[in-house]
Structure 1
Amino acid sequence: MSSKHEIDTYSKLELGATFFLQESFHYLHTALKYEFSSIIFSKELDAIEPSKQDREIMEKTDFPNDAVGLLQSDIPDILTEKTRSLMSNSWQKAQFRAESEKHKFGLNHRIDSIEILGHLNNFGFFIETLVNRHLLFLSQTKIIDEFSYARISISKIMERLIYIFKDDLNNNKVHLNEITNLFSLRNKTVHFRPDNAIALKPKISELIQIGTQSVKIIKKLEQKEKFNEESFSERLENHIVEIKNR
């Protein structure tokens, strides 16, 4: 029942939403740094010329031609220690440069870094926490009754959003297509099956569109709640600007 929740509940939900928002963009920035490191490292590798000894080792090495065989094999070093050292140094340099330099990714760039799991999961939790808090607010201000609250508060996230914004959706004042995409992507992380592991490569443009639509719906929640707190929509807008300006 919503009546058992006092200020501590709202405080915990605010802290949770703050945590999820910060973590989501921490993972996104980490993912982009890794992507940039990989780009730099790829160029560095092109400059490393395998020695004659390296080529001889590779020619003598017989690799299994299937994934399971590779996983089960005890694969020896196929490069000389000198070449391995050059590659290791190149990777370290690439990571350092990715930390200190900027790289402008195109909007169509697909993020392949595993850290994208952290962004999608935490951003989904962020939206869901704000939705849960808003439903509690609607119940405690008697905008919805206890029976409706008990039913809708445990429904699927998109059902909760549609319930909250049903009038705006009917009047075409709110759209949830990007939010639907967010939870579709998050479901791929929750059910990390082989196909999802390969397919989960969202474009930067997708993430920006999800964030932009999220700002709009959060502003709608804030307009009704009028809580005296740092605006989540403004915080999210600042994070989006940082990503655009990377």
Structure 2
Amino acid sequence: MNWVWFHRLASPPSFFALAERLSPWVLAAAIPLLLYGVVGGLWLAPADYQQGDAFRIIYVHVPAAWLSLFGYTAMALAAIVAVIWRMKIAECAVVAIAPVGASFTALALMTGMLWGKPMWGAYWAWDARLTSELVLLFLYLGVIGLQQAVADSRAAARAAGLLAIVGVINVPIVHYSVEWWNSLHQGSTVSKIGKPSISANMAWPLLSMTLGFMLFFGWTILRRIQAELLWRERGTRWVRERFVSLPEMSGD
């Protein structure tokens, strides 16, 4: 197997250039998907026969919850690569994903609480899904805290990466908590095997929002990795040559 592409991608200048080319296209694809999801979810989709218009929070809550799991899984995979192969790009990915993933997790929790009030009569219940999602937020914050606590950036990334790898066990717990325990949280409606229990005119805006959130998540991560690379590589020749008009980035 030819691994030239892998080594080329691991090169900071090559990855930076690739991210620079991809980022505008990713953002351009995300915007119309998000616009359609907002219009379709808030105006075109009919009210739910049981929950009324309160169900519309699903168009933010579900994509945010899904990305909280996806982000942590991606961070853990990047951490594995960083710990085993000591790849700087992977270390930067761990640093970049943690705050973004934490933000989506917090958004999922907040929208879940707002949705829970009219449905359950309370903003919070120590439900299996809610509790495991809260643990996920704490894991994200732990990774961020370790990154900030260690002065050396590479040592910090490795320490944070180890926590990310250990904490990934919580991802399947969050996902399957509704099935494993007697949960107040409703089960899957779109991705379950068989016929989805959501109508098409409700499902299409939800799928559009989810894909739009994913692309926005990807765009944010690419930009954050670029920023982290520039900081770590600020004393290298390729950064000086690329940003010749920025003498303050020439290194310490």
Q: State the TM-score, normalizing by the size of structure 1.
A: 0.38
Q: Which structure: larger Rg?
A: 1
